[in-house]
Structure 1
Amino acid sequence: MCKAKQLTRAEIVIIDGIRLGVIPDVVTYNTLIDAYCRFDSIDAGYSVFHRMREAGIDPDVVSYNSLMAGAARKCLLSRALDLFEEMLQSGIQPNIWSYNILMQCLFKLGKPDEANRVFQDVIISSLDPCPATFNIMINGLCKNGYTSNALMLFRNLQRRGFVPQIFTYNILINGLCKAGRMGAARRILGELRDSGHKPNAITYTTVMKCCFRCRYFDGGLEILSEMRSEGYTFDGFAYSTVLAALIKIGRIKESDEIVEQMQASGIEPDVVSYNTLINLYCKQRRFDDALKLLDEIEKSGLECDAYTHTIIIDGLCKAGNIDGARQHLNYMNTLGLGFNLVAFNCVLDALGKAGRIDQALKLFESMEVKDAFTYNILVHNLCKARRFLSASKLLMSCLKRGFKTLRSTQRAVLDGLRDSGYTNEARKLHSKIRLAQLLR
Structure 2
Amino acid sequence: MITRLSTKFMNICISTMCKSNQISKAEVVLIDGIKLGVYPDIFTYNTLINGYCRFVSLDAAYNILNRMKEAGINPDVVSYNSLISGAVRKSHLSKSLQLFDEMLQSGIRPDVWSYNILMHCLFRLGKPEEANSVFKDIVESGEMYPCTSTYNVMINGLCKNGYVKNAVMLFRNLQRHGFVPQVLTYNTMINGLCKAKRLGDARRVLREFCEYGYEPNAITYTTVMKCCFRCGRLEQGLEILSEMRMKGYTFDGFAYCTVVAALVKTGRIEEADEIAQKMMSNGLVPDLASYNTMINLFCRQGRFDDALKLVDKIERQGLKCDQYTHTIIIHGLCKVGDFAGAEKHLDFMNSLGFGFNLVAFNCLIDCLGKAGHIDQAMKVFDSMEVKDSFTYTILVHNLCRARKFLFASQLLIGCLKSGFHILRATQRAVIDGLCSVGFIKQARKVKTKIRSARLIR
Deviations 1:362-392 (A, max 9, x none): 2212222212221122123333444333222
Counterpart position of 1:2: 18
What does 1:336-347 align with in structure 2 at a 5 Å threshold? 336-347=353-364
Separation in 2, partners of 1:198, 1:104? 27
Q: Kindly tell me: are residues 323 and 51 of structure 1, through their superposed partners in 2, closer, same or farther at Cα, counting changes over 3 Å?
A: same
For residues 11-68 of structure 1, the C-alpha deviation after alignment (integer angstroms, 9 at most, x for no partner) is 1221122223332221111111112222333221111111112112221211111111
Question: Which range moves more in the overlay, 420-429 or 369-378?
Answer: 420-429
Q: What residue is the counterpart of 2:81 in the other structure?
A: 65
Deviates more, 1:102-111 or 1:423-432: 423-432
Structure 2, unmatched stretches of 5+, are 1-16
Residue number in structure 2 paired with 1:113: 129
Which has the higher mean CA deviation after the structures are superposed, 38-47 or 120-129? Answer: 38-47
Indicate the residue corresponding to 1:278 in structure 2: 295
Relative distance call for 1:375 and 1:81 in structure 2 (3 A) is closer
- Give the whole-Å Cα distance in 1 for the aligned partners of 2:220 and 2:435: 59
Q: 1:201 aligns with which of 198, 206, 218?
A: 218
Deviations 1:250-282 (A, max 9, x none): 111111210121112110011111011011101
Which residue of structure 2 aligns with residue 350 of structure 1? 367
Structure 1 position 418, deviation (Å): 4.2
CA deviations on 1:139-180 (whole Å, 9 max, x unpaired) are 111111111111111111112221111110000000001111
| Corresponding position of 2:338 | 321
**1:6-85 to 2 correspondences below 5 Å:** 6-85=22-101
1:240 paired with 2:257, answer yes
Q: How many residues matched?
A: 440
Residue 405 of structure 2 is aligned to residue 381 of structure 1: no
Q: Secondary structure at the match of 2:262?
A: helix
C-alpha root-mean-square deviation of aligned residues, in Å?
Answer: 1.8
Residue 227 of structure 1 corresponds to 244
- 1:129 paired to 2:162: no
Q: Greater shift after overlay, 298-307 or 331-340?
A: 331-340
CA distance in 2, matches of 1:428, 1:85: 60
Aligned partners of 1:73 and 1:105 also within 8 Å: no
How many angstroms apart in 2 are the aligned matches of 1:48 and 1:386?
Answer: 71
Q: Given the superposition, is the C-alpha separation of residues 286 and 47 from structure 1 closer, same or farther in structure 2, using an over 3 Å criterion?
A: same
Q: Aligned in 2, Cα 1:405/1:31: closer, same or farther, shift over 3 Å?
A: same
Structure 1 regions of 5+ residues with no counterpart?
none
Whether 1:102 aligns to 2:118 is yes
**SS of match in other structure, 2:19:** coil
1:404 alignment partner AA: H
Bigger shift: 86-95 or 345-354?
Answer: 86-95
Give the AA of the match of 1:110. G
The CA deviation string for residues 217-270 of structure 1, in whole angstroms up to 9 with x for no partner, is 111001001001111010000001000001111111111210121112110011
Which whole-Å CA distance do the structure 2 matches of 1:361 and 1:78 have between them? 49
Distance 1:405 1:204, change over 3 A: same
CA distance in 1, matches of 2:274, 2:104: 61
Change (3 A) 1:318 1:58: same
The equivalent of 2:8 in structure 1 is: none
Greater displacement, 76-85 / 26-35: 76-85
Cα distance change, pair 35–225 in 1 and its aligned pair in 2 (3 A): same
For normalisation by structure 1, the TM-score amounts to 0.95
CA, structure 1 residues 349+78, in 2 after alignment: closer, same or farther (shift >3 Å)?
closer
1:289 equivalent in alignment to 2:314: no
Counterpart Cα distance in 1 of 2:114 and 2:299: 52
Q: Is the contact between residue 61 and residue 93 of structure 1 (CA under 8 Å) also seen in structure 2? A: yes
Q: 1:196 to 1:424 in 2, by over 3 A?
A: same
Letter of the aligned partner of 2:133 in structure 1? R
**Cα deviation 1:374-431 (Å, max 9, x = unaligned):** 1122123333444333222111111212333234433443344445454433332232
SS at 1:2 equivalent: helix
State whether structure 2 residue 274 is matched by structure 1 residue 267: no
Change (3 A) 1:88 1:417: closer
Question: Does 1:366 pair with 2:407?
Answer: no
Counterpart in 2 of 1:157?
174
Taking a change above 3 Å as real, the CA distance of residues 407 and 113 of structure 1, as seen in their structure-2 partners, is: closer
Structure 1 range deviating more: 89-98 or 175-184: 89-98
For the residues of structure 2 that align with 1:332 and 1:8, how far apart are their CA atoms?
Answer: 42
Could you tell me whether the CA contact under 8 Å between 1:247 and 1:255 is conserved in 2? yes
Among 82, 90, 100, the alignment partner of 2:106 is 90
Shift of 1:78: 4.3
TM-score (norm 2): 0.92
Superposed displacement of residue 436, structure 1: 2.7
Instruction: Encode CA deviations 1:336-385: one digit per residue, 9 max, x unaligned.
Output: 22322111101112222333333322221222221222112212333344
Distance in 1, Cα, partners of 2:225 & 2:84:
37
